[in-house]
Amino acid sequence: MKAVQKLEHGVGYLGCVAVEEPKPTYGSVKIKIEFCGICGSDLHIVGGFETPTSPLPIPFTMGHEYSGTIAEIGEGVTQFKVGDRVTGIVTKGFCGKCRSCLMGDIGRCQDAINIGYECDGAMAEYICMPEGATFKLPDNVSLEEGALVEPAAVAAHAVLENVDIKPTDTVVVMGAGPIGLLVLQFIKACGAKTILADISSANARLELGKKLGADYTFENDKCNVIQEVRALTFGKGADFVFECTGVDIVITQSIMMTKRAGTIVELALTSAEGSNIKAYIVAVMQNMRIQFSYGHNLGTWQKTLQMMADGRINTKDLVTHKFKFEDFDEAFECNDANKIKVLLHP
Ligand SMILES: [Zn+2]
Ligand SMILES: [Zn+2]
């Protein structure tokens, strides 16, 4: 079968290669991949980034934002049948017995490994996944939208599970990429006032942000966004700022626009060098909270799928480009001004 693999350590080295088709083991399902999104973290991997704690298992198949149909079921599988439309959590190997697993937090199981950077991922014609990590797509959620459940769950975890947002809050989202636009929608669902900021070259994204519920949008390179946020909050600053860029200066801005004892939620991964150490003193002296947010759990996925089925979270408008696996080069290098989410398909 075809698979988009990272073939060597370092910058680049992607290829669309022929690999052996996987076979479902006990309790796992074989999924025929329909769509797999390119995530910001995939771009970091292709850019040569490796986490110090887990070197990449070269060569391996990329991708963790997928949807597909069940092609085959392994022994012991009871919840799925061939033809079911599914998506799933990025985690394999979890034990199912430890406290994290019993709490539904399978990603934090000691035995868990993540597809697409710790083992083979979903940019392939087929993937085998544990039944317990697989979710049926609601009938009114398309396979295309299904490939965005994973990033939507990342946003849901940050907004609904790591902090407590009230309708009286003013909340800023820094960065109008896929995660920023999803975070915005979950904040909107909490009833808060929303402000979205990005640089002017991301204007198409800011426009979509307005459509998806941003009360105010700002072009960060054309105005003083810290002053704008203070002006909208009687000078006090935002209750919450969601930092979705990983850019040095934006992290500093996020601290500078947060109110005394307010909260900065940091979701972004970054491979950039830089130091925000000077801004930290402001965060200390204003008694701020910095909440990091990563991943999701089984409960997050249920909430996310429910809200997508209810039409409260729009993932459809985020898909701007689709490429075949063979055209991975074009897909990974896509730099159109209107680009938001790029999907690959077999
Ligand atoms: Zn992702
Ligand atoms: Zn476990």
73-129 per-position pLDDT tens digit: 999 999 999 999 999 999 999 999 999 999 999 988 999 999 999 999 999 999 999
Residue pair 120/60 in contact by the 8 Å Cβ criterion: yes
Dist CA 216 CA 172 (whole Å): 9
pLDDT at 275: 64
Domain ranges for the chain: 2-151+296-345, 163-292
Query: What are the residue ranges of helices labelled H in 126-165?
Result: 143-146, 149-156
pLDDT at 276: 63
The single residue listed with the structure tokens 């009938």 is 139
Q: Going along the chain, which residue ranges are E strands? A: 2-6, 14-18, 28-37, 60-61, 65-73, 85-88, 91-92, 113-114, 126-130, 134-136, 170-174, 193-198, 216-219, 238-243, 258-266, 289-292, 319-324, 341-345
Mean pLDDT of 35-47: 94
Ligand nearest to the CA of 110: 2
Identify residue 122 by its one-letter amino acid code: A
CA 101 to ligand 2 center in whole angstroms = 4
Asked whether residue 157 carries a pLDDT value surpassing 70, the answer given is yes
CA 135 to ligand 2 center in whole angstroms = 19
Kindly report the pTM of this predicted structure: 0.94
CA 133 to ligand 2 center in whole angstroms = 12
Ligand nearest to the CA of 296: 1
pLDDT at 55: 86
Q: pLDDT digits over 242-263, tens only?
A: 999 989 899 999 999 999 999 9
pLDDT at 51: 77
Q: Going along 204-340, which residue ranges are E strands? A: 216-219, 238-243, 258-266, 289-292, 319-324
CA 88 to ligand 2 center in whole angstroms = 17
Task: Give the C-alpha distances (Å, rounded to integers) separating 136 from 86, 103, 140, 156.
Answer: 4, 20, 11, 18
CA 22 to ligand 2 center in whole angstroms = 23
Asked whether residue 277 carries a pLDDT value surpassing 80, the answer given is no
Asked whether residue 278 carries a pLDDT value surpassing 80, the answer given is no
Residue pair 137/167 in contact by the 8 Å Cβ criterion: no
CA 284 to ligand 1 center in whole angstroms = 31
State the helix-helix crossing angle for 149-156 and 298-309, rounded to 10 degrees.
Answer: 110
CA 42 to ligand 1 center in whole angstroms = 7
Ligand nearest to the CA of 96: 2
CA 311 to ligand 1 center in whole angstroms = 22
CA 83 to ligand 1 center in whole angstroms = 25
Q: For residue 117, which phi and psi values (nearest 5 degrees)?
A: -155, -15
CA 39 to ligand 1 center in whole angstroms = 4
Task: Spell out which residues have Cβ within 5 A of ligand 1, the ion.
Answer: 39
Closest C-alpha among 269, 326, 336 to residue 123: 326
Three-state DSSP state, 219: strand
> What value does the mean pLDDT of the chain take?
95
Residue 85 makes CB contacts below 8 A (sequence gap 6+) with 67, 68, 69, 136, 137, 143, 146
User: For 333, left (φ over 0), alpha (ψ -120 to 50), or beta?
Assistant: alpha
Do strands 65-73 and 85-88 pair parallel, antiparallel, or not at all (unpaired)? Answer: antiparallel
Fold of 2-151+296-345: Quinone Oxidoreductase; Chain A, domain 1 (3.90.180)
Residue 292 makes CB contacts below 8 A (sequence gap 6+) with 265, 266, 267
Identify residue 114 by its one-letter amino acid code: N
CA 117 to ligand 1 center in whole angstroms = 11
Mean pLDDT of 237-246: 96
- At 180, list the tokens: 């920023």
| Chain mean position to CA 197 | 18
Fold match between domain 2-151+296-345 and domain 163-292? no
Q: pLDDT digits over 280-329, tens only?
A: 888 889 999 999 999 999 999 999 999 999 999 999 999 999 999 999 99
Residue pair 33/59 in contact by the 8 Å Cβ criterion: no
DSSP string, 178-242: HHHHHHHHHHHHTT-EEEEEE-GGGHHHHHHHHHTT-SEEEETTTS-HHHHHHHTTTTS-EEEEE
Percent of residues, the chain, with pLDDT higher than 90: 87
Homologous superfamily (CATH) for 163-292: NAD(P)-binding Rossmann-like Domain (3.40.50.720)
